[in-house]
Amino acid sequence: MTTDAMSAAAPPAAAPVEARGLTKRFGPLTAVDRLSFTVPSGAITGFLGPNGAGKTTSLRMLLGLITPSEGTALINGRHYGELPDPLQAVGAVLEASSAHPGRTARNHLRIHAMAGGAPAQRITRVLELTGLADAADRRAGEFSLGLRQRLGLATALLCDPEVLILDEPANGLDPEGVRWLRQLLRGLAAEGRTVLMSSHILAEVAQTVDRVVIVDRGRLIAQAALAELTAGQDSGLEDAFFRLTGHNAEAPR
């Protein structure tokens, strides 16, 4: 390639999800400390760390729910609040669905579809995709934690976003549901979407993700492909996690 051609080439595209020196202080407590990482498209990235490591705070900053003390949180190269169509750009589950307990799953999705400009037929699609078709006309207040988790995922997928940010998405799911979630996320990544998910279930993460970002005490500990991180280790992700964070697995009782 000539020098002129190189200068005319377009700059590399921004990562779909990026943290740059992300810091959050709550009074004297530094919950997230100069955290930088990127999340590529077409892959599932596990966001891992011990309890209190700053994972949920980091995800909330990415979604514009918390203002960073320092640094930048970007979705598709922009702050969340600057996205022209945020619900179509990113879908998020930060807790099991907070749908009104007296509202049916279908009506909950209708309201969100109107807010995000999703077509009516998309409601039927996400109900089927998340296994809620048979429960669509039940009130959310009757749902188990697992069904509420599925409704949260249905809401996140409603506007067909390219980026998914999920905080403990397997929480409340039974073994069949966990397997279903794994297959769902793999299918979405195979379509070229970006999936960032936090989880404390390391065995499940090891079967699901392509890459990992590990944090501890608000700081980046490791960022790598799962295969690279676990290469040459018989016990895989769990041992790598405890070795990197310095947290010992609890001895069996």
Each residue of 51-66: pLDDT tens digit? 999 999 999 999 999 9
pLDDT grade, residue 247 (50/70/90)?
low
Read off the pLDDT of residues 156-188 as tens digits, 9 standing for 90 and up: 999 999 999 999 999 889 999 999 999 999 999
- Do 57 and 215 form a contact (C-beta atoms < 8 A)? no
What confidence score (pLDDT) does residue 96 get? 64
CATH numeric code, 15-76+163-246: 3.40.50.300
E runs forming strands in 28-170: 29-39, 43-48, 70-75, 90-93, 163-167
What confidence score (pLDDT) does residue 234 get? 64
What confidence score (pLDDT) does residue 5 get? 44
From residue 172, give the alpha-carbon distance in Å to each of 145, 161, 229, 238: 5, 24, 28, 22
Q: What are the residue boundaries of the structural domains of the chain, listed by start? A: 15-76+163-246, 84-161
The predicted model gives 28-35 an average pLDDT of 97
- Do 63 and 48 form a contact (C-beta atoms < 8 A)? no
pLDDT grade, residue 246 (50/70/90)?
confident
- Do 102 and 139 form a contact (C-beta atoms < 8 A)? yes
The predicted model gives 26-54 an average pLDDT of 96
pLDDT of 143 above 80: yes
Q: Is 184 left (phi over 0), alpha (psi -120 to 50) or beta?
A: alpha
The predicted model gives 211-231 an average pLDDT of 94
SS3 196: strand
